[in-house]
Structure formats: C-alpha cells, structure tokens
Structure 1
C-alpha cells in the first residue's frame, strides 16, 4: 500500500515512520483493495512547549469509500496500535457489507435477473 506520512510542526524519526508503515501494511490482510493512505502525526500542546499527547490520524482510500480514524495516546506507537484496532474493525465491516449476499438490494436484483432470464421450451416459441 502506498502511504504518505506527514509530521505536523515537527520532524518524525525514520524508525517511527517505518513502524507505522509496517503496521499499516498488515491491513492488506483484511481488505485487499486498499488504494492508498495518508498518515498525519500531530503533537497536542506543542505550542506551549509541553506536549500533552500524540495524535495519529489515518485516512485510507478504498474503491467507493474513504475511511478516517483519529486516535491519541502518550506515544505514537500506542496511538498507532489503537488506530489499527479501529481500522481492522472498519475494514471487516465494509468488506462484509460489500459481500453481503443477503442484503435486500442484492436479493431484489437477483430476482429481477431471474425473471428476465426465463427459459422457454422450443414448442412455446
């Protein structure tokens, strides 16, 4: 997956960026059609020289859908873990909705197709 990472008003360490990339690459196991993603790393309270919390925002682009998750914690690593938990749930739910054969819209479309494709016997023609 192609990721763009942005550290807002600070310079992120390369090991942190590699950690986040490795974590988000694992999302391909839950949904194989992720197009791209964007990660924003922010420091809450950076203006007052006393950083309170670290914020990780992730935006994933899927065909026909965009997922956004924002989490904060004491470290970027733990915030990334929390983002991963939420994104896993969202990806699984999105994939289930897409593949849900029992949905009313899909059932109605199937009945319409079945009615249009009636087979006629040779003597009826």
Structure 2
C-alpha cells in the first residue's frame, strides 16, 4: 500500500517512517482492496504529556476512513489509529452489499 506521511512543525526520522509503513501494510490483512493512506503527524505545544497527534486517512474503493488519535508518542498514536481502522475494515468487509434497485410502482 502506498503511504504518504506528512509531519507538521518537525522532521520525522527514518525509523518512525519505517514503523508507519510496516504498521499500515498490516491493514492489508483485514481488507485487501486498500488503495493508499495519508498520515499526518502533528505536535501540539501544550503542557500535557500526550501532545502528539496522528491522523490517518485510509482510501478504499467507495470510502475514505479518517481516524485521529492523540498519545504520548507517534508510534503509540499510529498503532492506536491502525487498531481503529482494523475494526472499521472488518466491519466494511462483513457488511452485506446492497445493490440499488429502483422501486417499481
């Protein structure tokens, strides 16, 4: 899967980018038709310890799933976001497909 990562107000290290790519690739196990993902990493200047935000937009045919998580580290935030996306993908995969059929009067 093609993963585009953008870091706001800081430069992401190569190890963080590799972690994000590996974690996002695991989503293919739950839904094999994923197109790509956009990951936005942000740091908020607050006194809280949980000041790192990861926002993930996952593109699948017919849908875009957006998950935003705030944690102490980017790895934790991305992992948590991927966990949420896994549940959404399983739900989409098991949801019965309803074809549109116009009502005939």
Taking structure 2 as the reference length, the TM-score comes to: 0.87
The one-character-per-residue Cα deviations of 1:28-58 (angstroms, maximum 9, x if unpaired) are 000000001100000011xx7x674100110
In the alignment, the residues of structure 2 paired with residue 91 and residue 77 of structure 1 have an alpha-carbon distance, to the nearest angstrom, of 21
In the alignment, the residues of structure 2 paired with residue 80 and residue 6 of structure 1 have an alpha-carbon distance, to the nearest angstrom, of 13
In the alignment, the residues of structure 2 paired with residue 37 and residue 85 of structure 1 have an alpha-carbon distance, to the nearest angstrom, of 15
Please list every run of 5 or more consecutive structure 2 residues that lacks an aligned counterpart in the other structure: none
Size of the alignment, in residue pairs? 100
Taking structure 1 as the reference length, the TM-score comes to: 0.73
Query: More strand per residue: 1 or 2?
Result: 2
In the alignment, the residues of structure 2 paired with residue 93 and residue 64 of structure 1 have an alpha-carbon distance, to the nearest angstrom, of 14
Instruction: Give 2:70's aligned residue.
Output: 72
Q: Please, what is the CA RMSD of the aligned residues?
A: 1.9
Structure having the higher Rg: 1
Higher relative contact order (CA 8 A, sep 6+): 2
Q: 2:80 aligns with which of 52, 62, 82?
A: 82
In the alignment, the residues of structure 2 paired with residue 57 and residue 79 of structure 1 have an alpha-carbon distance, to the nearest angstrom, of 9
Task: Give the deviation of 1:86 after TM superposition.
Answer: 0.3
